[in-house]
Structure 1
Amino acid sequence: MKSPKTVKSLEDLGRIRLSDSFFMRDFLYSEISQIEGMPNIPEYPDVAIEAGSNLCQNILEPIQKKLGRISIRSGYRSTLVNGKGAENKNQYNCASNESNYAHHIWDYRDKNGDLGATVCIVVNSFLDYYEKTNDWQALAWWIHDNIPAYSSMQFFPKLAAFNIRWSPKPEKIIYSYIQPKGYLTKPGMDSNDGCHKGLYSEFISSQCLA
């Protein structure tokens, strides 16, 4: 598929179903794109579709099936849009294009030639629990134990929104910008293995897959 150049071809791209619940169009909205007046369109749609399909089928669908509706905060970014975000990093908080290949920039492979895709989401059913407890770790540990395809997560204070990434080589990294800031877990830490259901049992009763 060629990069869309017309409204019709962009509509056709948006109609591509990535999984049971998600279409490509769900991930193309961008505030940077809207305010800066630049298109958020993949240069290599087939690569973006492959990466996005893996993200949706292996991560988003299992989360939504168990926890209910999720809301997408930030999905795909073109190199043009992400480049503007990186240029105005203090305003838009975007990493460089090179750092975002196979992350928010779905249609470019990373330096190792691997696919990848990142999306920022809110788990709607988690909001009441988070607002009462500020316990973002409950959701982080549930995903760590029950969604084996995830590669990394970064949690943010507003709405307990978080970036979650699919890659063919999952790294199992959780980082937080909510207090206590820093790594919750990563390879090499004792916490990276085993079951953590006691840390999320107040939010959800669940057997972990770990």
Structure 2
Amino acid sequence: MKSPASVKTLEELGRVQLSKSFFKRDFLYSEISQIEKIPNIPDDPDLAIAAGRVLCENVLEPIQEGLGRIAIRSAYRSCAVNAKGAENKNQNNCSRNEANYAGHIWDRRDADGCMGATACIVVTSFLPYYEQTKHWQALAWWIHDNVPGYSHMYFCPKLAAFNINWHERPEKRIDSYVEPKGCLTKPGMDNFDGSNEAEYREFSMEYHR
């Protein structure tokens, strides 16, 4: 598929079904794109679709099946949109393009030639529990134990939103901007293997009432 250059061809891209619940159009909205008037359109739609399909099928669908509806806060960024966001990293939270290849920039492989895709999501069923407890780790550990397809998660304070990434060479790492900040787990840490059900038991019981 060529990069869309008309409303019709952009509509066709948006209609591409990435998984049973998600279409490409769900991932194209960007505040930076809207304000700066920069089209958020992939240069390589086929690569963006391929990476997005695995993200949706292996990561987002299992989360939604287990915990209910997820809301997409941000996801795909074109190189032009990401570069504009990186000009003011403190305001827009965008890393430089090269660091975001196979991340938010789905239609570029990273320096190792690997494919990947990132979406920033909110698990809406988790919000009441998070607002009461601020225990973001409950959601992080639930995903770690139940969604083996993820590569990297990075949690943010507002709405317990977090970036979640699929990658051909998964890191299997969880980090947070929320206290306690830093790395929650990664391969080699004592808490990486085994069940962490005790961390999310209270939330799980509330969700399944």
CA-based RMSD of the aligned residues comes to 0.6
**1:106 paired to 2:106:** yes
Distance 1:164 1:92 in 2: 18
Give matches, 1:142-153, under 5 Å: 142-153=142-153
Q: How many residues align?
A: 205
2:88 is matched with 88
Distance 2:91 2:135 in 1: 27
- Say which SS state the counterpart of residue 174 (structure 1) adopts: strand
- Say which SS state the counterpart of residue 202 (structure 2) adopts: coil
**1:28 paired to 2:57:** no
1:160 is matched with 160
2:186 is matched with 186
Distance 1:54 1:199 in 2: 28
- Say which SS state the counterpart of residue 82 (structure 2) adopts: helix
Query: In the alignment, residue 29 of structure 1 is paired with which amino acid?
Result: Y
Distance 1:147 1:66 in 2: 9
Query: In the alignment, residue 20 of structure 1 is paired with which amino acid?
Result: K
Distance 1:15 1:95 in 2: 29
- Say which SS state the counterpart of residue 163 (structure 1) adopts: strand
1:122 is matched with 122
Distance 2:168 2:80 in 1: 25
Distance 1:22 1:189 in 2: 34
Unaligned runs of 5+ in 2: none
1:88 Cα deviation (Å)? Answer: 1.4
Residue deviations 1:72-118 (CA, integer Å, cap 9, x gap): 00010000000000011121110000000000000000111010000
1:195 Cα deviation (Å)? Answer: 0.8
**1:59 paired to 2:59:** yes
- Say which SS state the counterpart of residue 184 (structure 2) adopts: strand
- Say which SS state the counterpart of residue 35 (structure 2) adopts: helix
Q: How much identity, in percent, do the aligned residues show?
A: 68
Distance 2:66 2:136 in 1: 17
Distance 1:93 1:134 in 2: 22
Residue deviations 1:117-154 (CA, integer Å, cap 9, x gap): 00000000000000010000000000001100000000
TM normalised by structure 2 equals: 0.97
1:169 Cα deviation (Å)? Answer: 2.0
Residue deviations 1:22-48 (CA, integer Å, cap 9, x gap): 000000000000000110000000000
2:37 is matched with 37
State the 4+ residue runs in structure 1 displaced beyond 4 angstroms.
Answer: none
- Say which SS state the counterpart of residue 11 (structure 2) adopts: helix
1:56 Cα deviation (Å)? Answer: 0.2
